[in-house]
Amino acid sequence: MAKSKFRIHFCENCKAEKKMQILGAVEGNETKVWHKCSRCRHNFLIDTGLLNVEEKKDLNDLVKEECSNYNPINKYEVGASIYHSDWDDMGIVTSKVKISSGLQAIIVEFQKNGNKKLIENLQED
Ligand SMILES: [Zn+2]
């Protein structure tokens, strides 16, 4: 059986970005594709022609060799894939935040650990 394809997309029902199963295109209109939200199970017809050219990576498709090793002194871009050696876990940077101490942090969605906040761009004295 073929492996299901997924895409992270904003769900109008959940009002959040959710993992959606790609069900298939409408006959005669290849850019209109049915998606099923993995959380609320609603189906949505999404015009993939309107989506950003740069598709978001699927968390489950990450390959360790293609991830950058996490190191707090480095800077990361949103969308970058990261490997955390202590946790033996791979994730994708979903956003960047400033934390109270004036430090910068990235929010990373990890395969095993879920969403984690990690320090980035740490300046050493
Ligand atoms: Zn939903």
Residue-wise pLDDT for 8-61, tens only, equals: 999 999 999 999 999 999 999 888 999 999 999 999 999 888 775 555 567 888
Cα 95 to averaged position of ligand 1 atoms, centre (Å): 21
Q: What's the pLDDT at 29?
A: 87
Cα 81 to averaged position of ligand 1 atoms, centre (Å): 25
Residue-wise pLDDT for 102-117, tens only, equals: 889 999 999 999 999 9
pTM for the whole thing? 0.55
* Cα(92)–Cα(56) distance, integer angstroms: 9
Cα 34 to averaged position of ligand 1 atoms, centre (Å): 13
Cα 17 to averaged position of ligand 1 atoms, centre (Å): 8
Residue spans of the domains in the chain: they are: 5-50, 59-120
Q: What's the pLDDT at 1?
A: 54
Average of per-residue pLDDT across 69-86: 95
